[in-house]
Amino acid sequence: MKKPLHFAHELVQAVVKKGDHVVDATCGNGHDTAFLADLVGAEGQVYAFDIQPQALAAAKKRLLAGNLLKQVELLEASHAEISKWPPGPLAAVMFNLGYLPGGDHALVTKPDTTVSALQIAVERLKRGGIITIMVYTGHPGGQEEYRAVRNYCRSLPQQAYTVLEYKFINQRYHPPLLLAISCM
C-alpha cells in the first residue's frame, strides 16, 4: 500500500498536464511546490501560499536548485486570502495541514482558514480537477481541524464532486491521512 502522501502525488500526477495552473495552498519547505512546478512545466503556473517567510525562502531555494522558479509565484499570504488566488480554472490544489517541519510548532493551520481556503479551491477547480488534503492530527488542534475539513468535504454535493478518505487504521502516533476532492 502507498503512504498517503505518495498516493496524493499519484492522484495529482494523473490530472495535471503541462501548461496547467495549480495551487500549493500550504507551501512549507516547497516539496509539493516543486512537484507541481515540474508537472506544469515552463508553460504552466504554480501559486504557492505560506504565511511564514522562512518557508517561502526554503521553497525558493528548492525551486532554484531544480530550475523551477520561473513557473512559480510565491505568495506570503494566508491560503484563505481570496484576493491572492488565481481566478481559475485550476487543475489541482494541494494542502498539507499542520505545522512547518523544522519550524515553530505553535504556528499551525486552523480549521476556519483551511475551510475558507477549501471553499475557494472548490469554486475555482476545473472539471476533472483534484484537491488533495494531507491531514496531520497529532498536534494540538489537529483533530479539530480534521473534523472541520472532513465535515466540509462531506457536505459537497455528490452530483458534482467525489471525495475520498485514505488512511491507515492500525498505526499508532496519529499517522497522516489523505482527503481528496475530485470535480466531475
Quick: pLDDT tens for 105-145.
Answer: 899 999 999 999 999 999 999 999 999 999 999 999 999 99
Domains within the chain, CATH numbers bracketed: 4-183 (3.40.50.150)
CA distances (Å), 29 to each of 62, 143, 146, 167, in order?
Answer: 8, 23, 22, 24
Alpha helix ranges (H) inside 14-132: 31-40, 53-65, 111-124
Note the pLDDT of residue 155: 98
Cell of 98: 499542520
Q: Are 152 and 115 contacting, i.e. CB atoms less than 8 angstroms apart?
A: yes
Note the pLDDT of residue 140: 95
Note the pLDDT of residue 117: 98
* DSSP annotation of 160: T
Note the pLDDT of residue 28: 96
pTM for this model (two decimals)? 0.98
